[in-house]
Chain A
Amino acid sequence: MAQDRTITGTVTGKEDGKPLPGVTVLVKGSKIGTQTGGDGKYTLSVPSSSSELIFSYLGYLSQTKSASGNTVNVSLESDSKALTEVVVTALGVSKEKRTLGYSAQTIKSEDIVNSRESNIVNTLAGKVAGVQINNSGGQAGSSSRIIIRGTTSLIGDNQPLFIIDGIPMDNSTNRGISENDESALFSGSGGNRAIDIDPNTIENVTVLKGAAASALYGSRGAMGVIVITTKRGKKDLNRKFPKVTLSSSLALDDAYTKGYQTSYLQGSLGKYKNGLPVGQGGYSEVANGATQTSASWGPHKDSVSQAVIDAVGRPTVIDPREQFYRTGKVWNNSVSISGGGEASSYIITYSNLNQQGVVPNNSFKRNSFSGNFTSQLSKDFTSSTSVSYINSKNLRLPEGNTARSYLYSLNFAPISFDSKAAYQAAGQNRAWTAAGSGFNNPYWLVNNVEMPSAVDRFIISNESNLQILPWLKLTNRVGLDTYTDSQQEHVNIGTLSVPAGRMYESLIKQAQINNDLILSAESKINEDMKISGLIGQNINQRNFIRRTLRGTDLSAPGFYDIKGVGTQEALQLDEKRRLIGLYASATFEYKNYLYLNATARNDWSSTLPIDGNSFFYPSVSAGFVFTELMDLNNNNYFNYGKLRLSYAQAGNDADPYSTYQSYLGANPGDGQRGNIIFPYNGVGAFRKNSRLYNNLLKPEKVVEKEIGLDLKFFKNRLAIDASYYDKVSNMQILPQEISGASGYVDRVINAGKISNKGLELTVTGTPLRTADFSWDVTINFAKNKYKLKSIADGVDNIFLAGFDSPQIRVDKDFGYGVIWGTRYERNEQGRILIDDDGLPLVADDLGPIGNVTPDWTGGIRSTFNYKGLSLSGLLDIRHGGDILNFDLYYTTFYGTAKVTEQRNTPTTWNGIRKSDGTENKTPVMQNQSYFQNDYTRAYEALVEDGGFAKLREVTLSYNLPQSLLAKTPFQSVGFSVTGRNLWIKSNFSFGDPEGSLLGNGNAQGFYHAVTPGTKGVTFGLNVKF
């Protein structure tokens, strides 16, 4: 018998040089083995005859080393495309990716943190094929919209369900006042509540795109699911002190201010006016003319007349936009301590985000405490509890079509009037227009009109597992997500549009309770066959309460207390919905290459008619690893191939209170600004509802078929993941607008059929890899073809948002997200018809003038690693899709738009003269009257290409080499610099077409008085010890 000998060594990760605990070290050809400890070290007695050791570790490429000498150190290379990649699927079930019959894509912690976005939704931009993100604007605390595989529902919320640590999380965008009381068109909209989640705490995010993937989530997963898993503590018995991770960053942001002319001064018809009142330095080049005007139709800055210079000197020219926006700053600090003993582990994180927006006074602050505690309470019983408390404060300024919006002033500011000086000198609301008319001073506005909000949120969840038998497990997962959102509006006395001032004080309370009880079993029938399955029950309740006190006519400037107002009004909203679900799932695995999964779920929803509130939907999926059958596992060129097939149904319920008729409180208004509030003189009043409800509603139904391929080549150096889906949403629940003469404005019906077909492609590759250097590339591409097959019998279109014209609508003939408004008259060839004066004619009727839905979206990420240095860039591309730039309507009228720089030059419209059918040759002079009266006569002129290519992020990071840190208490030290949106290619007038006045709702593409997007640089530091 040969003598045993002892080999020791350390196993480290190749990428970061850190020790790897728990690596299996096995003597080849034997059952002798051990595992590395917390410090990555191992000691193993091996028979002297042994020649090789095998090192294997989940997520790393196994390595075989010669067992020569007494020390064998190994650095394992992580297998980023590991065959054993584990993903979290529906209901928190972890599965090997190779077993899935549907597509699921995971984003790692670094990729989330490195995007340096405060809003978790934005961190996903450009990273997942088929996921489209749109940021609503550049104010700190703005909302972002996320949709997966196109628009599934005509008017419902199309955004996916968010699941955090197994429980549903609210991602609403709340307003302190209802849309009826004040449209978002006149105030803009605040943040989506996923903004409360601190990206630092996230371990990974898995996107379940299709119905097959999300089927077990039931009706709430019909739009896809974002599964967020937070970080956990790791067992590390050898440490004396907890592991401490510090992360700190500072971002500097600037606003995009493109799109304005910088040559022409305030005035009219080429004559200068200086914007000051008469008697206070006011001057007009026209004798006895008004000295103030909203127009920037004065002289060119270089051709100011001598008369003006003699009278008031040469006018000073500024860029009002550049002057106004400040450098935004985001401080983000996070500290976590973590660790674990024999039976339990923990992590506690505190983070603080302090963002000063690019708009003066705009800020977003977030403090979050979170912790997870996982314990093995007995041999068979484990329990894991997560608790988060988040406090988010947002000071937002109104946006949109109102004189209270600073943008509805700044965007029209002439280059020759210094609003900042005017505000600072007088401390008053003095703009370049006459007192009491025109515009508010934007500096005055940001100091006197604000919409603060403060959220206190708890997300608490517990998962307990009882291993009843080795093959049978009972899991209960209970979660509570609750917050209060205290929102306010302060409009000071002296604001044009609300001269006497007003306020509201609103308290929103949202609570979601969710419980899943799951019994799961797993059984190996024989060597080749394995079955597993689960049955479960779900209860979900969501409760929304809003109490708003609104006051009009303040008693004193800046005094915002409901007792100090002229008129008080109390508004109340209560909404409760409940859902019960029963579900089952079964998986069959055969020989490592065939995987079959079937699910079934039945839901009972409170929002459907009580006698028809039950709905059932099944799914089946299959994964077939054909390379296994072909024995290609070790093939150098093509080593992995899987075919995925799935079919799934999902249902969706209605909005609450759509099944019974009710009366509305009377609130006469003039459609513009005036109204009468009841109770009036002590008398209450109710009127007929404007919506006809329906007690025969049925659930919406989504059917999705998906086929996919996973291919890996060149020993995983190149991987392709492709999916094709065909999703049909049927029996949509929607309010159908009907002739008002029927007595109602709209009625709730089941109707509409939408088809989304699309292709998603993810290609990951490592073109170059040497010992020290590697280059990785990931390409995402998605193309979704949307087709509105029908709306409803007699329904031609559905209004989504906007004005009557222009508006964003769903149209039977033109699809979803149609921009509808006045358009040019065209002949049969589509040529614009021109009148005898050379001006385009406007068609009598409204029509489609654009569509906001992009043709395709894509992202390219490229990462270079050289030793500890890493350079990574993410290019986000959205091709096609229009945007309605309603700001152009005003900026061309007032003469601040870039396009008005062409003023007083002739242009000839490309079109056909209507009178004689000949090519138009009549030039028109592009003068003030042209821009004010003719240029935007058709809203078609306001439609611009919303496509872009954006360098979302460029990150340069450097980790200090392990050799330097060896003698310090630090485990790792890293620095990073990230550039956000440093480069944008877009034809959009204002540079960055991401922006939506209506926030993250369905009506995207309505750009009007929206805070422009920002670009910036973030400096970050990460330390672990």
Chain B
Amino acid sequence: MKRKYILFPLTFVLLLTTLSSCKKYLDINRDPNLPADVTEKLMLPAIIGTFSYEVAGGYPTRTATLWTKHLAYAGADRHSGSYYLTENDVDNFWRFSSYNSVMGTAVEMIAKAEKNGNPSYAAIGRIILAWNLSYLTECYGSIPYSDAFKAEQGVIKPKYDTQEDIYKEIQKLLDQSIVDAGKGTGLKPGVDDFIYGGVMQSWVHLANTLKARFYLRLSNAPGYNAATQADLALKALDAGAITDKDAPTATYFSVANAENPWYQFAIGGKWNFSTKPSQYYVNLLLGDDEIPGTLDPRLPFQVSVVPKGSDPANPGVNAGKYVGVTNDGPPLNIANYSPIGSFYSARNAKLNLLVYAEVPFIRAEAEFLKANKSVNAAVVAAYNEGVAASMTFYGIDVNPSTSSAETKAYLAYPDHVINLATSSTDAYRRIMQQKYIANYLQFEAYNDFRRTGYPVLPINDEVYAPDVDLVNKPEMGIIPLRLPYPSSERSYNKENIPSDIPINTVNAMQIPVWWDKK
């Protein structure tokens, strides 16, 4: 037989055999570096870790603290401290941090936990989901929720829900979580619960506290009654709020890439040192040298003195002093201004997701509103508890017999006191002023400012010294009232964005959110 008669069939057989084993040979398209499925235990730390770092300690809070003047950004270029921001600046917070990483993961984890019979995980998932939703609606107003998280079903342009509906959903989520947290069945969270280590009772306290916060949020909302909302808030607190022992915090460590977000942002030198306590706020806490009782004992905890020798160029110009910055390029090296106090900004400082002092202050305001904006014993008691809690938070002794002269003077200073004789306006202002100081570096201070108008804050047009011109003039004449909608929504979902919010960011930022009708 001639060779060719063998070779032809041989070649074809060779070609054909490759076809039959083809399927298995080609079935290698699963990413070996990423899991196809994960358990609730692996999702929870991602949800909490991201929420803490990117939301509660991230963009919205950083921006809000510039607007509430806790901080200022001493930069010569236009920036959010001078009310300049773009729809791109707010984009990460919307789509990466919130909808995808935190809430998207939470929605999946809740579904998984319900399917697997792990109500504790469903409870925590709903609390974080509700909490993150509140940040979003407080920044943007109407946002997608009922139509959101449905990309798998082909919904890539979700409709928006009104802010009113969002708050209803938030309350529902919190109610459901309180029920689930009490079940005690299924998988128990442990070290994967970065906030409470699996103590579900504390999650219930947190849910109640958040409920109270959000009831009170609607004190001026159209169609809502302040006294009613106040009563709902009080009931939520009475159902078991957080105490000074179980205020939620996120823990960080003194090792690289595990550090406190304020440290990484403002202290560590990864970006710059321009974010510092504002001149306004430092001066507020410093009070007036001439007037005893105006110096706030919390100052050393919230603001650090200018360290010695930090700037070899100007040794000792401001060393040892409390000096704040404005939202403009500083005349001296930035090292000559006070950094955020290490209580907040040390590498391993805890991030306060919510401070306990907020609970008595909610109570004080709620009692005050419930009493038709008049002072009664409950208001006085709650207010005093709030101020004391805020002091105790730093370890400041408020016991009248043992406290320092400075603390005594501060607590006794007329503008820091509420009693039955205090006028309605003064009382409201003082409650909110003290809450504002207690809520240092908290996003909540921005909500309170918009809702109540307290404290009365000037816009960011301060200068460093009387003879220095303001280069960075604010982009608008009021403190911004919201964030503009992000660029990704403008690009991929523009049909659904509420038409009353203009594209122009400066115009958009001057439109109040729904509940902001003070």
Q: Which residues of A contact B (CB under 8 A)?
A: 277-280, 282, 289-292, 434-437, 468-469, 472, 474, 496-500, 502, 517, 519, 535, 537, 539, 552-553, 565-567, 569, 572-574, 576-578, 580, 582, 604-608, 610, 613, 656-666, 668-678, 680-690, 692, 736-745, 747, 794, 796-797, 803-805, 844-846, 893, 929, 932-933
Residues of B within 8 A of A674 (CB): 53, 259, 261, 264-265, 268, 270-271
A739 contacts B492, CB within 8 Å? yes
Is the CB–CB distance between A606 and B29 below 8 Å?
Answer: yes
Q: Is the CB of B49 within 8 A of A794?
A: no
Judge whether B408 is part of the interface by a CB distance below 8 angstroms: no
Q: Using known A-B contacts A437-B333, A741-B144, determine if residue A676 contacts B53 with beta carbons closer than 8 Å.
A: yes
Q: Flag if A740 contacts B49 (CB, 8 Å).
A: no
Q: Given contacts A279-B312, A741-B149, list 18 more A-B pairs with CB under 8 A.
A: A434-B335, A552-B257, A578-B25, A658-B29, A660-B31, A662-B35, A671-B96, A672-B270, A683-B45, A685-B46, A686-B43, A688-B108, A736-B156, A740-B489, A742-B149, A743-B99, A797-B491, A804-B88
Closest to A611 in B: B23
B240-262 with Cβ < 8 A to chain A: 251, 253, 255-259, 261
Q: Which has the most chain B C-beta neighbours within 10 Å: A277, A656, A796, A804?
A: A804
- Give how many B residues have a beta carbon under 8 Å from the other chain's beta carbons: 111
Contacts of B52 in A (CB 8 A): 668
- A580 x B26 contact (CB < 8 A): yes
User: How far in angstroms is the closest Cβ of chain A from B478?
Assistant: 19
Q: Is the CB of B334 within 8 A of A673?
A: no
Contacting residues, chain A, for B44 (C-beta < 8 A): 685
Contacts A537-B18, A688-B108 given; indicate if A676 touches B257 (C-beta within 8 A).
Answer: yes
Given contact pairs A277-B312, A279-B312, A742-B150, A683 touches B192 in the complex (Cβ within 8 A): yes
Chain B positions within 8 Å of A677 at CB level: 257-258
Contacts of A684 in B (CB 8 A): 42, 45
A604 and B491 contact, CB distance less than 8 A: no
Q: Looking across the interface, which residue of chain A has its beta carbon closest to that of B310? A: A436
Tell me the complex Cα distance, A277–B58, Å.
34
Task: Tell me whether B38 is interfacial, beta carbon within 8 Å.
Answer: yes
The reply to whether A668 and B333 form a contact with Cβ atoms under 8 Å apart is: no
B21-64 vs A, CB cutoff 8 Å, 1 = contact: the mask equals: 01101111111111111100011111101101110001100000
Assuming the A-B contacts A498-B270, A687-B43, A737-B492, are A676 and B258 also in contact, with contact meaning beta carbons closer than 8 angstroms in the complex? yes
Residues of B within 8 A of A662 (CB): 30-31, 34-36
Structural contact, B32 and A670, CB atoms closer than 8 A: no
Say how far A784's CB is from chain B's closest CB, in angstroms. Answer: 28
Q: Which residues of B contact A580 (CB under 8 A)?
A: 18-19, 22, 25-26
Q: How far is the CB of A283 from chain B (nearest CB, A)?
A: 12
Determine which of B59, B149, B257 lies in contact with A671 in the assembled complex, contact meaning CB atoms within 8 Å.
Answer: B59
Instruction: Tell me, yes or no, whether B15 is within 8 Å of chain A by CB.
Output: yes
A663-B37 in contact given A277-B313, A668-B49 (Cβ < 8 Å): yes
Centre residue among B44, B45, B47 by max chain A CB count within 10 A: B45
Contacts of A675 in B (CB 8 A): 53, 257, 264
Residue of A nearest to B76 (CB): A932
Stretch among B3-11, B425-433, B509-517 lining the A interface: B3-11
- The 6 closest A-B CB pairs, nearest first, are A740-B95, A674-B264, A804-B88, A552-B256, A666-B46, A662-B34
State A797–B332 Cα separation when bound (angstroms). 45
CB of B285 within 8 Å of the partner chain: no
Residue-by-residue, is B491-502 near A (CB-CB < 8 Å gives 1, otherwise 0)?
111001000001
Q: Is B471 an interface residue (CB 8 A)?
A: yes
Main secondary structure of the interface of A (DSSP, over half): loop
Q: Tell me which residues across on chain B come within 8 A of A658, comparing CB atoms.
A: 29
Q: Which residues of chain B from 409 to 425 have any CB-CB distance to chain A below 8 Å in the complex? A: none
Kindly provide the distance from the CB of B337 to the nearest chain A CB, expressed in whole angstroms. Answer: 12
What distance in Å separates the Cβ of B468 from its nearest Cβ neighbour in chain A?
10
Contact of B94 among A574, A682, A740, A893 (CB under 8 A): A740
Q: Which of B3, B50, B194, B313 lies in contact with A278, CB distance below 8 A?
A: B313
- Cβ A669 vs Cβ B53 within 8 A: yes
Chain A residues whose CB sits within 8 angstroms of the CB of B143 once the complex forms: 741
Structural contact, A690 and B96, CB atoms closer than 8 A: yes
10 pairs across A/B with beta carbons < 8 Å? A279-B313, A280-B312, A469-B3, A472-B4, A578-B26, A668-B52, A671-B96, A688-B108, A690-B96, A739-B144
B289 on the A face (CB < 8 A): no
Q: Are B49 and A685 in contact (CB under 8 A)?
A: yes
Say yes or no: A805-B88 contact (C-beta < 8 A), given A606-B28, A663-B34, A687-B47. yes
Cβ-defined partner of B101 (8 Å) among A500, A569, A613, A688: A688
The answer to whether residues A686 and B35 also contact, given A553-B256, A739-B144 and a CB cut-off of 8 A, is: yes
Residue in B18, B58, B258, B496 whose beta carbon sits within 8 Å of that of A670 in the complex: B58
Chain B proximity of A198: nearest CB distance (Å): 34
User: Do A576 and B95 touch across chains, with their CB atoms under 8 A apart?
Assistant: no
CB atoms of A670 and B77 under 8 A apart? no
Q: Complex Cα distance A606/B22, Å?
A: 10
Cα distance A605–B28 in the bound complex, in angstroms = 10
* A809 nearest CB neighbor, chain B only: B491
A572-B33, A797-B491 known; A567 and B258 CB under 8 Å? yes
Q: Is B385 engaged at the interface, CB distance under 8 Å to the other chain?
A: no
Residues of A near B293 (CB, < 8 A) are none
Given contacts A567-B257, A737-B492, contact A794 B157 (CB under 8 A): yes
Q: Are B28 and A846 in contact (CB under 8 A)?
A: no
Closest to B52 in A: A668
Q: Is the CB of B49 within 8 A of A745?
A: no
State whether A687 touches B29 (Cβ < 8 A).
no
- From known contacts A279-B313, A498-B270, A844-B502, infer whether A685 and B45 are also in contact, taking CB-CB under 8 Å: yes
- A743: contacting residue among B34, B148, B251, CB under 8 A: B148
Q: Are B49 and A278 in contact (CB under 8 A)?
A: no
Is the C-beta of B331 less than 8 angstroms from some C-beta in chain A?
yes
Question: Taking A743-B99, A845-B503 as contacts, is the C-beta distance between A668 and B50 under 8 angstroms?
Answer: yes
> Considering the complex, which residues of chain B in the window 331-345 have a beta carbon less than 8 Å from any beta carbon of chain A?
331-335
In the complex, A578→B27 CA distance in Å? 9
| A468 CA to B11 CA, complexed, in Å | 12
Closest to A675 in B: B257
Contact status A673-B50, CB under 8 Å? no
CB neighbours (8 Å) of A497 from chain B are 269-271
Q: Is the CB of B149 within 8 A of A743?
A: yes
Which A residues are CB-close (under 8 A) to B149?
741-743
A290-B332, A670-B53, A846-B487 given; A929·B28 CB < 8 A: no
Contact yes or no, A610 B492, CB < 8 A: no
Contacts of A736 in B (CB 8 A): 156
What is the bound-complex CA distance between A933 and B78, given in angstroms?
Answer: 8
Task: Kindly provide the distance from the CB of B514 to the nearest chain A CB, expressed in whole angstroms.
Answer: 18
Query: Are the CB atoms of A290 and B333 closer together than 8 Å?
Result: yes
A692 touches B255 (CB 8 A): no
Closest-CB distance, A277 to chain B (whole angstroms): 4
Contact B256 A567 (CB under 8 A): yes
Q: Please, how many angstroms separate the alpha-carbon atoms of A389 and B272 in the complex?
A: 46
Contact indicator B158/A741 (Cβ below 8 Å): yes
Question: Are A739 and B488 also in contact (CB < 8 A) when A277-B312, A606-B28, A613-B26 are?
Answer: yes
A796 to B269, CA, bound (A): 39
Question: When chains A and B are docked, how far (Å) is the Cα of A936 from the Cα of B117?
Answer: 57
In the complex the two chains form, is B88's CB within 8 Å of A666's CB?
no
B503: chain A residues within 8 A (beta carbon): 844-845
Q: Which residue of A lies closest to B95 (CB)?
A: A740
- Whether a CB of chain A sits under 8 angstroms from the CB of B114 is no
Complex Cα gap A610–B22 (Å):
10
For the complex, what is the distance from the CA of A292 to the CA of B257, rounded to whole Å? 32
With contacts A670-B264, A805-B86 known, is A539 near B18, CB below 8 A?
A: yes
- Residues of the B chain whose Cβ atoms lie less than 8 Å from the Cβ of A468: 3-4, 7
Within 8 Å CB of B38, what residues of A?
A: 663, 686
B301 is an interface residue with CB less than 8 A from chain A:
no
Task: Give B207 Cβ to nearest chain A Cβ, in Å.
Answer: 23
| Pair A740/B88 contact, Cβ less than 8 Å | no
Which of B26, B91, B315 meets A605, CB within 8 Å? B26
Known: A437-B273, A472-B4, A678-B46. A742 touches B158 (CB 8 A): yes
